[in-house]
Structures are given as C-alpha cells and as structure tokens.
Amino acid sequence: MDLKLATIDLGLIAPEIIIAAVAMLILLLGNVVRRRTILAYFGLFGLVAALLTALPRWGNPASGFYGMVQADNFAIFFKIIFIIAAGLTILMARRYLISHEIESPEFYALLLFSAVGMMVMAATSDLVVIFLGLEIMSVPLYVMAAFARHDVSSNEAGIKYFIMGAFASGILIYGIALVYGATGTTDLRRILADWGFFEMHSQLFLYSGAILVLIGFGFKVAAVPFHMWVPDVYQGAPTPVTAFFSVAPKAAGFAALLRIFTYGFADMSQLWAILWILAVLTMTVGNILAIFQDNIKRMLAYSSIAHAGYILVALTAGGDGAVSSAAYYLLAYTFFNLGAFAVITLIDTRNSSTAQIDEMQGLSGRHPFLAAVLALFMFALAGFPPTAGFMGKFYIFSEAIKNGYIGLAIIGVMNSFVSVYYYLRVVVVSFFARPNKEFEAVSYTPAIFIVLVITAAGTLILGILPGYWLSLARAGIFQFL
C-alpha cells in the first residue's frame, strides 16, 4: 500500500489553527476587554471561520503531516458536528453563567480548546494523534465541569470526571502501546494493510491492546459498565457544560471508535462479540435506570448512556451503511439533545432551580413556546416520527437487521419503547400536571431563542427530509484515505 508521505500542509489543519488562535486571543483579551459579550461573539466568529475553511475540503480528501492528519469527508462531517455543538453552547451558556456569577473569558477559551481536540481526534488515522486529540479535548473539559468554583457539587463533578477521564486515558494509552508493539506502527492504514502478517505472539498483544483501547473509549463515550461517572458529572456540572458534554465529546469518541474499529481493526472478528454485549448492556442499563430519576439532568445523563448504546449497535453492525447511520444519528442527536438542554439551561438560570422534573409543573401555562419545544425534543429523544430521532433509530436498526444482527435490533427497539415512558413523563408534567405553585417565570435572551429555533429546526428538518443529510453522511464515510 502506498503511503503517500505528503509534505506538511498547514491548510489541512487550518480550522484547528483558527480556533486555537481565537481561543488564545480570548484568553489574552479577557484581561483587557471588559465587555464579555464581545469575547463570546469573537469565539463564535472563530467557529464560523473554521467552518468556512473546513467546508471547501469536502470531496477532495487529503493526507498530510507524514500521514498523521487526514482531512477527509469523515473528518469534515464530524468537524461540522463539533462546531455546531460548540457554537450553540456558547450562545446558550452566557445567560446561565452570568446569573450564576461564574462568567469569565476562560470559559469560552476552554470550550474552543476542547473543540480543537475533538477536531484533531476526528481528523487522523493515527492512534497516537487520536490520543493527543483526546487529551486536548478532555483536559479543558475537566476544568469546565468544575467551573462553578464555589459550588461544591460542581467541584465534585470536576474531580470525578477528572479521575475517571484520566484513568480511561491511562488504559487507552497502554492499549495503544501494546498495539504499537504488535504491529510496529500506530497508523491504522498500515495496521489494516499488514493484517494477517502478524505472528502469533503479536496477535496476543494486538488483541489485548485493542480491548484496552475499547475500554478506554468505553469510558469516554459512557458505555456500560464504564458509565458510573456519567450521572454524577452531568448532574453536578453547570447546565450548559452538561449540554456540551452530552453531545460533543460523545461524538468525538464515536468518531475515533468508528475509525479504529470499522477501519483499522476491521478484521478483528472476535471483537464483535464484545461490542454486541457492550451495546446491549449500554442500551438496557441506561434506559432502565433513567426511569427512576427525579432530577432531569440525571435523567438525561442516563438517556445519553442509552443513546450511546444505540450508536454502539451501529458500530457492532459494521459496514458502510451502519457507519453512515451512526454519523447521521450523531448529527441528529446533537440537535435534539442540545435543544433539550437549552430549555433546561434557560429554566436553570433562576438560582432557585434544582432541576427536578417536578419543577416543570405549569411550564406550558407560563411559557407555551418553551413547553412546546421541550416536548418536541423529548419526542425526538424517544424516537417518534416525524422527528430526527425516529429516522436515526430507523436507519441504525435497519442496518443492524441488514447485517444479520436481528437480535440486537429487537433489543434496541424494545429499549426505545421503555424510553418512551420517562421522556413522556417530562412532557406530561410540563403540560398536564396541576401546579401547586405558580411557575416562576424565566426571561429569554435572543441568544437562547436562536438556539431553540436552530435546534428545533434541525430536529424537524433532519426528520422530515432525511435523504439529503443521510447522503451527506454516506458520502462522508469510507472516503478514508
């Protein structure tokens, strides 16, 4: 296989460079510019600029930095997801941060640095660069989880996230070390090309390495049984941070997982049994534990575990179709999960809020629009047509059936039915429960209104006209170099 050792082309990592530079400038200007609004919008501007530099690369994949960077469609598709997630988070976070008196320029800088890490993760086929990207993503996230410095539950979320995250990184890098020893390279393309030439004893290293890599990412994407940190961290972290956690790092983790396990380690047939078990456990445990939650952030944490399970179904099924359905689902999930969290963030801007589900009583009377979009996002999470959630699940399960994983698809569908219960509970409480006290009003900001409109529109458009977006996802896949 010809490994084109292209020269160093900074154009390939232009989006990353732009975002990192903007983030550093925000840090520095933060001490000079007193108007925080300017910094927030400067961050948004950086994201848009990065998006504009990333898009023209669509369709002409290139490899650079001696094979360490892949600017292919797959990478661009995921970069779009990260940019959308980061941009919407900036828009929705400001109001919350101000009302909780924790706003500072560092928040936006950390968010952007973390986005850079995710983009690096998606845009490489080298295990060590994936690890580097993972760390660039995770280290700012640890700080963001603990961002409310004087709030003990935020502190606790930060330390739990840090310990579990760093632990997972340790396992992951040891796995990568073993793979490196077995194959003599960390480049997934060379691992794939040399497959079958490895000797027996290096097969042992390879398999144990691959399993450790899977465990490491299992922590990052919150697969059961590596999920125990998720509910605590999601509940404790500031709400906009939780919103970002629930979509972007998950998408980045899956981007890397898809690249590693459906591409580099594609011939490792024994692993699929493990993935099967992982997918079933993740879906089932996530959905069942979500039923018992009274705190809405905690409920959505378990729901995000369940959604990781659905995407693991696609990963288990393997093949082009399944990978593109996973990518499509991640895009859709970004919209409706961020939307749901935007509503909760808005409600949480009141300092009295405790984010209990019962607190939604009387929401529809006071804020009909808010209640309506919340219901839309809950329907999407539960997977009702005509929302994006339905189409995403439909694609994933039909791919699973197509590839012969009928049992997995049946378990998945049954899980979706279970999930309807707890999602509808939120809708029922916000529309029909008789409030024992008046719902304390919240005031919109234009920024949050924009977030709600974008996420609601995304949820509906991806659901009603899925063809175009799915073809985009399909074009993105396996144009790996």
132 belongs to the binding site for other proteins (CB under 8 A)? yes
What CA–CA distance (Å, rounded) separates 283 from 419? 10
167 belongs to the binding site for other proteins (CB under 8 A)? yes
DSSP 187: B
Give the shortest CB-337-to-other proteins separation in angstroms.
20
* Interface with other proteins (CB under 8 A), residue from 142, 254, 395, 431: 142
Give the shortest CB-118-to-other proteins separation in angstroms.
16
Nearer to other proteins, 15 or 158 (CB): 158
Q: How many residues bind other proteins (CB under 8 A)?
A: 48
Residue 433 burial (CB < 10 Å; 0-12/13-18/19+)? middle
31 belongs to the binding site for other proteins (CB under 8 A)? yes
Give the count of beta carbons closer than 10 Å to the beta carbon of residue 312: 29
Residues 6+ positions from 321 with CB-CB distance below 8 Å = 399, 402, 403, 474
Nearer to other proteins, 155 or 356 (CB): 155
Token readout for 426 is: 């939120």
Which range of residues in 72-80, 154-162, 349-357, 449-457 is near other proteins by CB under 8 A?
Answer: 154-162
Nearer to other proteins, 8 or 457 (CB): 8
φ, ψ for residue 67 (rounded to 5)? 85, 5
162 belongs to the binding site for other proteins (CB under 8 A)? yes
Give the shortest CB-371-to-other proteins separation in angstroms.
27
What CA–CA distance (Å, rounded) separates 437 from 362? 8
Nearer to other proteins, 128 or 418 (CB): 128
194 belongs to the binding site for other proteins (CB under 8 A)? no
125 belongs to the binding site for other proteins (CB under 8 A)? no
Give the shortest CB-253-to-other proteins separation in angstroms.
17
In the chain, how long is the greatest CA-to-CA distance?
71
Half-sphere exposure of 323 (CA within 13 A, CB side): 24
Q: By 3-state DSSP, what share of the chain in percent is helix, strand and coil, each rounded to 5? A: 75, 0, 20
What's the alpha-carbon Rg for the chain, to the nearest Å?
21
Query: Rounded to 5 degrees, what angle do the CA atoms 113, 355, 448 make?
Result: 55
Nearer to other proteins, 127 or 411 (CB): 127
What CA–CA distance (Å, rounded) separates 334 from 88? 10
Give the shortest CB-333-to-other proteins separation in angstroms.
23
Find tokens 């605590």 and name the residue: 232
163 belongs to the binding site for other proteins (CB under 8 A)? yes
DSSP 51-74: HHHHGGGTT--EEETTTTEEE-HH
Which range of residues in 74-82, 181-189, 240-248, 256-264 is near other proteins by CB under 8 A?
Answer: 181-189
* Interface with other proteins (CB under 8 A), residue from 41, 58, 180, 394: 180
Per CB under 8 A, which of residues 290..349 are in contact with other proteins? 292-293, 298
Which residues make up the interface to other proteins (CB under 8 A)?
A: 8, 24, 27-28, 31, 128, 131-132, 135, 139, 142-143, 146, 149-150, 152-153, 155-160, 162-163, 166-167, 169-171, 173-174, 176-178, 180-181, 184-186, 231-232, 235-236, 289, 292-293, 298
